[in-house]
Each structure stands twice: as structure tokens, then as C-alpha cells.
């Protein structure tokens, strides 16, 4: 389960002071200890009861110009600062199951009841309300190929909630949770670690009952553009063939193989059969699944 972190006892700080401290602190988001050490800074912001309301009021005055310019998340998320390539600061709103917004939008809009991991580490702090509930699991991603339907060997840890003042580190591609609505409206604060390789790491949704990978949910703009380019033919097919053979990311190779098979239906089976012989278990496994698809 996510790692509990001592929030420390430092006094409240402003959002600007948090940003200044983070910008002055070198850290590797893949180094668990270095990233965990940022937690008490987040907790100190969390002890500031006014900053988020003040930020929301300023955004409303500007017709949410700051959020419109930089926020690629759903309306559930308020960016506290635009992403800078090292970290993301955000606040998440968590309505209760019976709140009108949940009834109107559905629980899926808030990622409730969806077993998933994360392809980035993040710190979270219970800022307001009783806190969301989660069923927590962990797993060993290195033991998996990463195919839909593959056994995940999830290990249940506990059900608990993000109590006010609680500070946790969700470990990248290790902690899995099924997020459940809080008993009443709640807010959490996050520091997300980021780096350029993050979009190329798979994030999974799991089938808890079967203890299997249900599907991967990571995609990049490059994958969509490659699929489009292949459909247009010409150089797009050449590019897809090159990516299928040599791209350093296995998921992009699978995307390229699928794009070629879709763009060249008369050669699709031969393309997939060749990919099924790949020395990469990830590429070969996905190709075999495409071959067996109805």
C-alpha cells in the first residue's frame, strides 16, 4: 500500500513558499527517499486553511484563465501551478457518492471504483473533509509482461481513508488502489513527480475479481499521429514500419504494428504473424492477441 509519511510539525506556508522550496530542491522522482522527503513541505501547505479558497476566487475573477491555459485534467482537479517538467501541484475534489455532482456525472467521472496503478509517483495530503476511501493492493510490475488478461498477482493490503492531515506516498507502478467516495465532500493536495519518460510507461486498470490486468490506459499523441499517418499511406507506412521494427518503446512498436495491419488489410495476417515471433514477449504477446481477436 502507499507509504505513510510523517508530516512533521512545521508551520503553515503559502503556495508561493512551497513552489520556491521545490524549485530550490534537487530530487529524482524515481528515488523514493528523495521524493518522500518533499512530503513535509506539502503538509505545511496543507496547514494553510485559506490558500485554496483564495486561489479559487482569483480564478473565478479571471474566468478561470489560469486553469484554461494549463489544466489538462478534468474539472475535478485544480492546478496550483502550471506543470514545469519536474513536478505537478494540484488539488483534487472528491464528492460523496450521493452528492448531486456524483449522481449527475456518475462515479466513473471521479475514477471511483476503478482499480488502477500510476506511472508516476505522487504525494497526497488530506486537506479538507473526512477523505476518500481506498482498497489498497500492491504488485510487482517487473514480474509481468504487461498483456491484457495476464495474471497480476495483486496482494491486498487494507481499506483505509485519507484522513485530514494524513500524508502518503503512492509509489510508481507498485501501489494499486480502488478509490471509493468519501463520506462527505473532501479535498486532497498532491505533488506529482514527472519526467520525460513517464508517458512511455504503461499504467494499468486491473480486474480485481480475476486478479488480472484488464487493460493499459496510457497513450501519447505520437501514437495517435502514427496511426493516422499509416492510414494516409506513403511515407506514413514507411514510418510505421520503421517504428514497428526499431522503436525503443515496446508500446510504440505494438502501436505501429497495429497501425500497419489496419492500413494494409491484405497483409495484416502476415504483419501480425511476423510480430508474434518477436523476441520481445510484450510485442509478441500483443501480436498474438490481435491475431486471435474476432
pLDDT 10s digit of each residue in the chain, 294 long?
899 999 999 999 999 999 999 999 999 999 999 999 999 999 999 999 999 999 998 888 888 777 777 777 777 888 899 889 899 999 999 999 999 999 999 999 899 999 999 999 999 999 999 999 999 999 999 999 999 999 999 999 999 999 999 999 999 999 999 999 999 999 999 999 998 888 899 999 999 999 999 999 998 899 999 999 999 988 999 999 999 999 999 999 999 999 999 999 999 999 999 999 999 999 999 999 999 987
| Average pLDDT score, the chain | 94
Q: For the chain, give the longest Cα–Cα distance.
A: 67
The reported pTM is 0.91
Residue range 3-216, CATH number: 2.60.120.10
Sign of the torsion angle spanned by Cα atoms 24, 26, 32, 33:
negative
Residue whose cell numbers read 449527475: 104
C-alpha distances in Å from residue 71, one per residue of 77, 87, 127: 8, 14, 20
Per-residue model confidence (pLDDT) at position 70: 75
**Tens digit of pLDDT for each residue in 265-275?**
999 999 999 99
Reported as a single tens digit per residue, the pLDDT across 116-154 is 999 999 999 999 999 999 999 999 999 999 999 999 999
Gap between the Cα atoms of 138 and 147, Å rounded: 18
State the span(s) of the chain assigned CATH 2.60.120.10. 3-216
Burial class (CB in 10 A: 0-12, 13-18, 19+), 198: middle
Q: pLDDT exceeding 70 applies to what percent of the chain?
A: 100
Which pLDDT value is given to residue 89?
96
C-alpha cell at 82: 502550471
pLDDT of residue 62: 81
Q: Cell numbers at residue 259, please?
A: 497501425
The share of the chain scoring above pLDDT 90, in percent, equals 84
Computed over its alpha carbons, how large is the radius of gyration of the chain? 21
Given this model, what pLDDT does residue 59 score? Answer: 82
Amino acid at each position: 500500500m502507499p507509504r505513510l509519511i510523517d508530516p512533521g510539525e512545521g508551520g503553515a506556508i503559502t503556495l508561493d513558499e512551497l513552489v520556491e522550496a521545490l524549485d530550490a530542491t534537487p530530487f529524482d522522482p524515481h528515488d523514493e527517499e528523495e521524493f518522500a522527503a518533499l512530503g513535509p513541505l506539502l503538509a505545511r501547505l496543507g496547514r494553510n486553511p485559506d490558500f485554496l479558497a483564495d486561489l479559487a476566487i482569483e480564478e473565478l475573477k479571471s474566468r478561470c484563465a489560469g486553469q484554461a491555459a494549463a489544466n489538462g485534467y478534468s474539472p475535478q482537479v485544480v492546478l496550483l501551478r502550471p506543470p514545469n517538467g519536474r513536478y505537478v501541484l494540484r488539488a483534487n475534489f472528491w464528492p460523496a457518492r450521493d452528492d448531486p455532482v456524483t449522481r449527475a456525472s456518475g462515479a466513473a467521472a471521479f475514477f471511483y471504483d476503478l482499480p488502477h496503478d500510476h506511472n508516476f509517483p505522487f504525494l497526497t495530503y488530506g486537506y479538507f473533509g473526512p477523505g476518500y476511501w481506498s482498497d489498497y493492493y500492491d504488485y510487482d510490475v517487473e514480474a509481468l509482461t504487461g498483456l491484457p488478461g495476464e495474471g497480476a498477482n495483486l496482494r491486498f493490503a487494507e481499506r483505509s481513508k485519507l484522513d485530514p492531515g494524513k500524508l502518503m506516498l503512492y509509489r510508481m507502478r507498485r501501489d494499486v488502489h480502488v478509490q471509493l467516495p468519501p463520506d462527505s465532500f473532501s479535498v486532497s493536495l498532491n505533488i506529482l513527480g514527472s519526467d520525460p519518460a513517464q508517458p512511455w510507461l504503461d499504467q494499468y486498470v486491473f480486474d480485481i475479481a480475476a486478479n488480472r490486468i484488464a487493460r493499459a490506459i496510457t497513450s501519447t499523441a505520437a501514437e495517435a499521429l502514427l496511426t493516422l499517418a499509416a492510414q494516409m499511406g506513403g511515407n506514413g507506412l514507411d514510418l510505421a514500419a520503421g517504428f514497428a521494427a526499431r522503436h525503443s518503446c515496446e508500446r510504440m512498436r505494438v502501436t505501429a504494428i497495429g497501425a500497419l495491419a489496419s492500413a494494409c488489410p491484405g497483409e495484416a495476417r502476415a504483419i501480425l504473424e511476423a510480430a508474434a515471433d518477436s523476441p520481445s514477449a510484450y510485442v509478441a504477446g500483443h501480436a498474438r492477441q490481435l491475431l486471435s481477436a474476432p
